[in-house]
């Protein structure tokens, strides 16, 4: 491909190039995609496409050091193949050279735009957005070495987000509790909820996002706003440690979203028991052996609650129905209620096998069943442009209660 007029930002490879740019993928990855767009070289027409659809859209990113590095590598790539560099690129790089200080590189947060790309027939969502993509803007940390791990985009969070979007029927009409506030996971879930409410009859009773760090919850509030999910109560202005944001979609959905401060170590049993989710989500939460006993306690409490409630409700309902002589309806109700048994989905990279085995032992002691479903429930590849995201090392587990 040698003409930028043939490149369409709504279809690959132009779509991949724009998506990678907005997601702030490594510059080398962008250059590689640009070469593919130009048939092996970054032609003038491809440069023009990058200028029109990437750099001129840089307000969506707003992180000058990243842009400076990309433009520098783009110019070097063109010059190394004896190509002609657009004047606009030279001028843009000159501006960055005179306006940016080196000590500003690699610090702070920036707004990445994660685009989940749907192909024909991949899912009902693909027939709704004209661009066949779901874009999630995220204010996130760019340097985990300086802290803010809860505000970073983790691979397991991306994987679980793909899983949510690939299997929407597993999440339809369910209440959800997230045991750690992972940026992409939470927003992908919420975007799915509110987009599905447009496509068909879809109602979510409640979504609870939790984290033990108040700054991470504050960042989540900001990201809710970036995704046009308005808050009805700004609890961040409170001085206490309780955070309870009532969130409502601008689309008119009645779904309720709460952001709560929940420390695994200090959370009281009664506090956890207030929630009765049907689905519990977590990404990269099996990492610190010291935290695992507390994590297992939280999971066991959350996963037992609705099961007990559902069984009790089913027993009462069955008794009433049998009294009325409707045995067949009772059987149907029993099957429907059995599907409400809560389940947890945990995506993680097993970095230390001893830590993971410790989790399995503690889960067994806590009457939890851990099942690896990685090979039987593979999500769609919705992030094909992200070279920084490698799902091959990520495992997906279900967690259920034996009680």
The H-assigned helical ranges of 200-267 are 214-226
pLDDT tens by residue, 124-147: 544 344 457 888 888 887 665 554
Per-residue model confidence (pLDDT) at position 316: 46
pLDDT at 59: 66
Residue 64 is predicted with a pLDDT of: 83
Dihedral (C-alpha) 320, 401, 156, 120: value to the nearest 10 degrees? -40
Please determine, for residue 34, whether its predicted confidence score (pLDDT) is greater than 60.
yes
pLDDT at 7 > cutoff 60: yes
Segment 377-395 shows an average pLDDT of: 94
Task: Say what the pLDDT of residue 310 is.
Answer: 45
Domain ranges of the chain: 4-105, 149-401
What is the rounded average pLDDT for all residues in the chain?
76
pLDDT score at 78: 96
The pLDDT-based confidence of 87 (bands split at 50, 70, 90) is: very high
| Percentage of the chain lying above the pLDDT 70 cut | 67
Confidence of residue 215 (pLDDT cuts 50, 70, 90): confident
Indicate if the pLDDT at residue 278 is higher than 50: yes
Rg (CA), the chain: 24
Residue 246 pLDDT > 60:
no
Give yes or no for residue 180 having a pLDDT over 80: no
Token pair listed for 126: 């693909």
If you ran DSSP here, which 8-state letter would residue 173 be given?
A: T
What is the residue whose two structure tokens read 């995609």? Answer: 33
pLDDT in tens, 306-335: 554 444 444 444 444 444 444 444 444 444
42 pLDDT higher than 90: yes
Q: Which two tokens stand for residue 373?
A: 């479903």
Average pLDDT of the segment spanning 208-216: 77
For the cut 90, the answer to whether the pLDDT of residue 369 exceeds it is yes
For 149-401, CATH number out of 3.40.50.300, 1.10.606.20, 3.40.1050.10, 3.40.50.150 equals 3.40.50.150
Judge whether residue 31 has pLDDT over 90.
yes
Range with lowest mean pLDDT among 52-61, 144-153, 165-174: 144-153
Does residue 69 surpass a pLDDT of 50? yes
Give the rounded distance of the alpha carbon of 110 from its chain centre: 16
In this structure, the strands spanning 343-349 and 394-401 are antiparallel
At 98 the pLDDT is 82
CA dist list (Å): 184 to 48, 134, 283: 31, 12, 10
Per-residue pLDDT for 173 more than 60? yes
Of the ranges 47-56, 126-135, 161-170, the best mean pLDDT one: 47-56
């Amino acid at each position: 491909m040698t003409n930028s007029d043939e490149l369409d930002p709504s279809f690959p490879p132009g779509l991949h190039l724009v998506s990678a740019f907005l997601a702030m993928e490594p510059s080398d990855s962008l250059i590689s995609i640009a070469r593919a767009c130009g048939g092996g070289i970054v032609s003038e027409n491809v440069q023009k496409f990058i200028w029109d659809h990437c750099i001129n859209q840089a307000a969506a990113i707003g992180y000058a050091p990243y842009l400076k590095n990309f433009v520098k590598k783009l110019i070097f790539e063109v010059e190394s193949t004896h190509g002609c560099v657009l004047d606009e690129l030279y001028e843009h790089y000159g501006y960055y050279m005179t306006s940016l200080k080196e000590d500003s590189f690699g610090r702070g947060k920036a707004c990445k735009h994660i685009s989940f790309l749907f192909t024909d027939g991949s899912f009902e969502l693909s027939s709704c957005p004209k661009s066949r993509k779901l874009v999630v803007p995220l204010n996130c940390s760019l340097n985990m070495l300086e802290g803010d791990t809860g505000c970073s985009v983790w691979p397991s969070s991306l994987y679980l987000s793909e899983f949510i979007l690939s299997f929407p029927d597993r999440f339809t009409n369910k209440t959800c509790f997230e045991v750690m506030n992972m940026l992409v996971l939470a927003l992908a879930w919420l975007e799915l909820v509110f987009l599905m409410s447009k496509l068909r009859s879809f109602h979510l009773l409640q979504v609870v996002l939790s984290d033990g760090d108040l700054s991470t919850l504050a960042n989540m509030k900001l990201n809710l706003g970036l995704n046009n999910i308005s808050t009805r109560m700004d609890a961040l202005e409170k001085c206490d440690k309780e955070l309870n944001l009532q969130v409502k979609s601008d689309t008119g959905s009645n779904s309720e979203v709460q952001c709560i401060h929940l420390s695994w170590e200090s959370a009281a049993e009664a506090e956890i028991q207030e929630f009765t989710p049907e689905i519990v989500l977590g990404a990269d939460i099996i990492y610190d052996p010291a935290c695992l006993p507390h994590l297992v306690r939280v999971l066991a409490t959350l996963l037992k609650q609705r099961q007990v409630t559902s069984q009790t409700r089913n027993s009462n309902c069955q008794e009433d129905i049998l009294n009325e002589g409707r045995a067949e309806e009772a059987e149907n109700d029993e099957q429907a209620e059995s599907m409400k048994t809560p389940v947890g989905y945990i995506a993680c990279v097993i970095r230390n096998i001893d830590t993971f085995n410790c989790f399995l032992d503690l889960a067994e002691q806590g009457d939890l069943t851990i099942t690896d479903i990685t090979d039987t429930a593979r999500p769609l590849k919705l992030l094909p442009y992200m070279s920084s995201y490698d799902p091959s090392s990520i495992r997906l587990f279900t967690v259920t209660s034996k009680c």
